[in-house]
Structure 1
Amino acid sequence: MRRRGQELEQAILKAAQEELLESGYAGLTMERVAQRAGTNKNALYRRWPNRAALGVAAYAGLAAAGTVVPDTGSLRGDVLALLRAANAHWSSPLGEIVRGLLSAAGDDPELLALLHSRATSGGADLWQVVLRRAGIEVSPRVATVAIGLLRNEFVTRGAPTVPDEVLVEIVDEVYLPLVTGSSQPGG
């Protein structure tokens, strides 16, 4: 029986996710994904215009699987939990995938645009939930400053993981003073 619609799309995404986990973005090919999904390349191209779009969609599914909004009882605790989760994610095999996507983006303007749209829309939601719970309303750009600083640590220092004391500095010295207007940790 031939799969169609959502069923086929899910099979393709699952195959692409498996390819990403095994080979990273550099090893992701439309041909291998089609073969693994038991379909043809045309079925992939009808849904995603290119390898970059499929890679981003597959990665988004992998990344979303572990996304949880923390509720530690304090703004500082929630922000540290989000930052620690991001640090763990970027230090994991999934982090290698996103680093591969970012690395390839330098040569692929379409991939860069896709990653930029995902980063600017998806990431802010978690941060704004935590901030709203504390009675703070800020723009998505301000809400994601901490994650931007963490990303900077990975990019500029090439670190496989960022030490916890750096995460605490980001939260206490930059993020909380910015969002609360207070120089005291925890606002």
Structure 2
Amino acid sequence: MSGRRRRGEELEQAILRAAAEELRESGYAGMTMDRVAARAGTNKNAIYRRWPHRAALGIAAYRHLSDAALPNPDTGSLRGDALEMLRQINATWSSPHGAVLRDLLAAAADEPELLTLMRERSGADSMDRVWLGMLERAAARGEAPAAAVHHRVATTPVMVLRAEYAVRGNPSVPDQVLVEIVDEVFLPLVRGRG
């Protein structure tokens, strides 16, 4: 890095990248403001001006990772899109990226504000927009009724997949379960909205 001082968005992105790398390498428990500052080539004050505490930075870094990894398949069919989306989400959640999420969730037991921040800033809006876009494309193709383009319909597949991880404790969900989520839950729900 030259002696040029970074500001604004450029500095913020450098801090988020550094925090994301710390999360991946050390987990939330090992991520400190000092380590993030050193990795980003800045000082802690620059971090604290943007994120008032470690939990806020941890969630922002996780969202940075999530937004970069957000899939948006367009296979030409609703079933194909939904199945590909669930497969990509499953691959992400069972990867080191998913380990970061599980680490944050585990830390939330000791830091309740972490869970609150996760709910508020989870990036779910981005994921919801992708699923709603998928439903809109299906409605435009005549594959789904217009009434199916609804937030609750769009969020159902991911909620069911999340339950497989949370309730059943699966480190990765078998492909047959993903097919069942699409064929036995999501598509009947979509068709029933007509």
TM-score by length of 1: 0.90
CA root-mean-square deviation:
1.8
Distance, in Å, in 2 between the alignment partners of 1:171 and 1:35 is 45
2:69 aligns to what SS in structure 1? coil
Matched pairs, number: 183
Distance verdict in 2 for CA 1:43–1:54, change over 3 Å? same
Contact persistence 1:90–1:161 (CA under 8 A): yes
Query: Which residue of structure 2 lines up, in the alignment, with residue 55 of structure 1?
Result: 58
1:90 paired with 2:93, answer: yes
Distance, in Å, in 1 between the alignment partners of 2:191 and 2:118 is 29
Among 124, 127, 139, the residue aligned to 1:123: 127
Q: Which runs of 5+ in 2 are unaligned?
A: 140-145
Q: Which runs of 5+ in 1 are unaligned?
A: none
Query: Which residue of structure 2 lines up, in the alignment, with residue 144 of structure 1?
Result: 155
- Render the CA deviation track for 1:37-80: whole Å, top value 9, x for unaligned: 12221111100111111111111122222323111111111000
TM-score by length of 2: 0.87
Which is further off, 21-30 or 106-115?
106-115
Contact persistence 2:67–2:123 (CA under 8 A): no
Contact persistence 1:75–1:130 (CA under 8 A): yes
1:157 aligns to what SS in structure 2? coil
Q: CA deviation at 1:119?
A: 4.9
Map 1:37-186 onto structure 2 (within 5 A).
Answer: 37-117=40-120, 118-135=122-139, 136=146, 137-181=148-192
The percentage of counterpart residues that share the same residue type is 62
Distance verdict in 2 for CA 1:171–1:129, change over 3 Å? same
Contact persistence 2:33–2:47 (CA under 8 A): yes
